[in-house]
Chains A and B, each alone.
Chain A
Amino acid sequence: MIFLELFLTFLKIGAFTFGGGYAMLPLIQEEVLAKGWASEEAIINFIAVSESTPGPFAINMATYIGAEMGGLFGSFCATLGVVLPSFVIILIVAKCYDKFKESKVVRGCMSGLKPAVVGLIGAAILSVAVTVLIPSGFSLAIFSQISLYVSLAILAIGLVLAFKKVHPIIIICISAVLGIASGYILN
């Protein structure tokens, strides 16, 4: 039953994502890749789509995977799943905020979770880097492949622009143009 599976998978992802933005990426890789719902390349492509459209990354991702696997109702189930833990927990916290704020247990857990999330995103990005730079697997032959150097060049340009605080959408557009140009020149 794909709808129930979508709901439960994204419920789990929603319940264990701490911190905003890409904190969800390691869990998406773990759950979605393992189930074969999307390839790593499709997920990276979708990050670009999500950066260029409004709305939170988590909702965009759930809607997209849901649509791919189960159409409109699939989207609905996945999105409901990712939203529900957050919604329920905030309702509880809003009722007893003062207790929550002073809770040593919450503060203690967060002192371990915050650095863990940084390490986990680092690991997720390592896996993205392998997919982007050496899509056909690691061997000595890759050093003679021109596509590796094209990707490295685009990565370098992207990094310089990102640190100059250029908007992500502009970086994505520039990468697309460079990708098309090098694609037609090389093939």
Chain B
Amino acid sequence: MKKLKKLLSIFWVFFRIGAFTFGGGYAMIPLIQKETVENKKWITDDDILEIVAIAESTPGPIAINASTFVGYRVAGFWGAFFGTLGTVIPSFTIIFLISFVLREFQDIKAVQYAFSGIRAGVLALLIKALITMYKKAPKGLVSYIVMAASFIIVGFFDINVLYVIIFCAVFGLVTSLLAERRAGK
């Protein structure tokens, strides 16, 4: 009974976080910190730093990484399950309903004009996001070469993004192991 209550409480906390974070990803971290550290005292501030570090080095959306990890820490597998479910449901429901609205209104002239303006606005948001990511990325010659090479290969040649991702992971591994070996000598 106590366990069930805890699971419901995990679900409810992440449901609220999912329902009130706009933009997703890192925007969610402060909210997770407030709910799970300050209010519920399930985890500590150090755990939050850990979660960010893990989310950065595992695939998938940061929000899902964080809710799975916190849920697991608090109540094992089912905690992870209900935390993730809570994060997904608000988003899923809202977008599923909106997809009907979008289909219904897309033929209206004013909506088409609005979206042609919005697309230019979105381009601005994407450029801003790219510059922010660039500032956070590792510096150094090898990093800049990887950045430029992946940009050119995918931007100007018809090469699959997946291959580039796999190749860059292997490349990073090899160069860091080589650098370590050289430092060890």
Contact = CB atoms under 8 A, between A and B. Distances in A.
Contacts of B98: 49, 53, 64
Contacts of B133: 19, 21, 117-118, 121
A123 B96 contact: no
Given A27-B162, A55-B21, A83-B64, A94 B72 contact: yes
Interface in B63-118: 63-65, 68-69, 72-73, 77, 80, 84, 87-88, 90-92, 94-96, 98-99, 102-103, 109-110, 112-118
Given A26-B161, A184-B113, A125 B127 contact: yes
A114 B143 contact: yes
B69 A67 contact: no
A68 B123 CA distance: 23
Given A20-B24, A115-B147, A125-B130, A100 B121 contact: no
Nearest to A47: B122
Interface in A77-96: 79, 82-83, 85-87, 89-91, 93-94
Interface stretch (B3-11, B34-42, B150-158): B150-158
Interface in B139-169: 142-144, 146-155, 160-162, 164-165, 168-169
Nearest to A20: B25
A155 B120 CA distance: 5
A187 B172 CA distance: 52
A59 B151 contact: no
A108 B118 CA distance: 39
A119 B120 contact: no
Contacts of B45: none
Interface size class of chain A, counting residues whose CB lies under 8 Å from the partner chain: 35 or more
A91 B76 CA distance: 9
Q: How large is the interface on B (under 10, 10 to 19, 20 to 34, 35 or more residues)?
A: 35 or more
B180 to A, nearest CB: 7
Contacts of B149: 119
A54 B72 CA distance: 24
A147 to B, nearest CB: 8
Contacts of B150: 115-116, 119-120, 123
Contact of A176 (B53, B118, B134, B173): B118
A12 B80 CA distance: 21
B176 A120 contact: no
A112 interface: yes
30 contacts: A17-B61, A26-B154, A27-B162, A45-B122, A48-B118, A53-B94, A56-B21, A58-B61, A59-B61, A82-B60, A82-B61, A86-B65, A89-B59, A90-B60, A91-B72, A108-B172, A109-B169, A111-B138, A113-B165, A116-B146, A116-B150, A150-B117, A151-B120, A152-B120, A154-B117, A155-B123, A175-B120, A175-B122, A182-B113, A183-B113
Interface of A: 12, 14-22, 24-27, 29-30, 41, 44-45, 47-60, 63-64, 67-68, 72, 75, 79, 82-83, 85-87, 89-91, 93-94, 97, 100-101, 104-129, 131-133, 147, 150-152, 154-155, 157-159, 161-163, 168-169, 171-172, 174-180, 182-184
Given A183-B117, A184-B110, 10 more contacts: A14-B59, A26-B154, A45-B119, A56-B25, A89-B59, A93-B58, A108-B172, A108-B177, A115-B147, A119-B154
